[in-house]
Structure 1
Amino acid sequence: MFQSVNHSKFASDLPRNCTFDENDWRILCNFWHPIAYAHEIQDEPEKARLLDVDLVVYRTSQGVSVARDICPHRGTRLSAGWVRDDNLVCPMHGLCFDHSGQCTKIPSMPHQNAKIPPKMRLYSVLSEERYGIVWACLSGEPNWTLPTWEMLDDPSIKLNFIPSGTWMAAASRHVENFNDLAHFPFVHGGTFGNETPAPLPLYKVHETDYGLTFDMPYLEGGNRFPDGVEADDREVVYTYELTFPFSTAIYIRPVDSDYVQIIADTVCPVSAHESKLFQIITDNTEEPNAEYLVKESSQINEEDKPLVEGQHPEDLPLDLTEEMHIPADRISMDYRRALVKKFGLGAPIAS
Structure 2
Amino acid sequence: MFLPIDSAAAKSDLPRNCTFSESDWRILAGFWHPVAFCHEIAEKPVPAKLLDVDLVIWRTGAGISVARDLCPHRGTRISAGRVDGDQLICPMHGLHFDPAGVCSKVPSNPDQSARISPRLRLQTLQVCERYGIVWTCLSDNPVWPVPDWPGLKDQSLKRVFVPPNTWAAAASRHVENFNDVAHFPWVHKETFGGSEEDRFPSYDVTETDYGLMFQLGYEEGGNRFPDDVPGDSRHVVYTYQLTWPFSTIIVIQPNDSWYVQYFADTVCPVSAYETRIFQVATDTTGAPDEEFLIRESLMINDEDKALVEAQRPEDLPLNIRDEVHIPADAMSVAYRRGLVNRFRLGGALVS
Q: TM-score, normalised by structure 2?
A: 0.98
- Deviation of 1:116 after TM superposition, in Å, equals 1.1
Q: Which residue of structure 2 aligns with residue 234 of structure 1?
A: 234
Correspondence list, 1:1-351, <5 A: 1-8=1-8, 13-348=13-348
How many angstroms apart in 2 are the aligned matches of 1:173 and 1:143?
22
Determine if contact 2:223/2:233 at 8 Å carries over to the other structure: yes
Secondary structure at the counterpart of residue 110 of structure 1: coil
Q: CA 1:9 to 1:272, structure 2 compared with 1: closer, same or farther past 3 Å?
A: farther
Moved more, 83-92 or 341-350: 341-350
Over residues 316-351 of structure 1, what are the superposed CA-to-partner deviations in whole Å (9 max), with x where a residue is unaligned? 00000000000000001000000001001000469x
Q: CA 1:349 to 1:209, structure 2 compared with 1: closer, same or farther past 3 Å?
A: closer
How many angstroms apart in 2 are the aligned matches of 1:140 and 1:148?
21
Runs of 5+ unmatched residues, structure 1: none
Secondary structure at the counterpart of residue 48 of structure 2: strand
Moved more, 95-104 or 120-129: 120-129
Moved more, 111-120 or 265-274: 111-120
Over residues 111-162 of structure 1, what are the superposed CA-to-partner deviations in whole Å (9 max), with x where a residue is unaligned? 0011212221101111111111011100121000110002111111111100
How many angstroms apart in 2 are the aligned matches of 1:192 and 1:9?
56
Letter in 1 for 2:255: V
Runs of 5+ unmatched residues, structure 2: none
Letter in 2 for 1:297: S
How many angstroms apart in 1 are the aligned matches of 2:10 and 2:159?
36
The number of residues matched between the two structures is: 350
- Deviation of 1:50 after TM superposition, in Å, equals 0.2
How many angstroms apart in 2 are the aligned matches of 1:10 and 1:193?
54
How many angstroms apart in 1 are the aligned matches of 2:81 and 2:197?
53
Letter in 2 for 1:273: Y
Q: CA 1:349 to 1:128, structure 2 compared with 1: closer, same or farther past 3 Å?
A: closer
Secondary structure at the counterpart of residue 161 of structure 1: strand
Q: CA 1:341 to 1:12, structure 2 compared with 1: closer, same or farther past 3 Å?
A: farther
Over residues 224-246 of structure 1, what are the superposed CA-to-partner deviations in whole Å (9 max), with x where a residue is unaligned? 00001001000000000000000
How many angstroms apart in 2 are the aligned matches of 1:201 and 1:6?
62
Determine if contact 1:281/1:294 at 8 Å carries over to the other structure: no
Determine if contact 1:83/1:89 at 8 Å carries over to the other structure: yes
How many angstroms apart in 1 are the aligned matches of 2:284 and 2:165?
26
How many angstroms apart in 2 are the aligned matches of 1:11 and 1:32?
24
Over residues 182-235 of structure 1, what are the superposed CA-to-partner deviations in whole Å (9 max), with x where a residue is unaligned? 000000000001133311111000000000000000000000000010010000
Quote the sequence identity (%). Answer: 60
Moved more, 296-305 or 112-121: 112-121
Determine if contact 1:11/1:139 at 8 Å carries over to the other structure: no
Over residues 276-306 of structure 1, what are the superposed CA-to-partner deviations in whole Å (9 max), with x where a residue is unaligned? 0000012110321000001100110000000
Secondary structure at the counterpart of residue 153 of structure 1: coil
Q: CA 1:267 to 1:274, structure 2 compared with 1: closer, same or farther past 3 Å?
A: same
Determine if contact 2:150/2:262 at 8 Å carries over to the other structure: no
How many angstroms apart in 1 are the aligned matches of 2:99 and 2:84?
12
How many angstroms apart in 2 are the aligned matches of 1:268 and 1:76?
24
Q: CA 1:291 to 1:68, structure 2 compared with 1: closer, same or farther past 3 Å?
A: same
Over residues 230-267 of structure 1, what are the superposed CA-to-partner deviations in whole Å (9 max), with x where a residue is unaligned? 01000000000000000000000000001000110000
Determine if contact 1:260/1:283 at 8 Å carries over to the other structure: yes
Over residues 56-103 of structure 1, what are the superposed CA-to-partner deviations in whole Å (9 max), with x where a residue is unaligned? 000010000000001000000011000013100000000000100000
How many angstroms apart in 1 are the aligned matches of 2:190 and 2:327?
25
How many angstroms apart in 2 are the aligned matches of 1:63 and 1:10?
35
Secondary structure at the counterpart of residue 152 of structure 2: helix
Determine if contact 2:61/2:85 at 8 Å carries over to the other structure: no
Q: CA 1:28 to 1:91, structure 2 compared with 1: closer, same or farther past 3 Å?
A: same
How many angstroms apart in 2 are the aligned matches of 1:274 and 1:10?
28
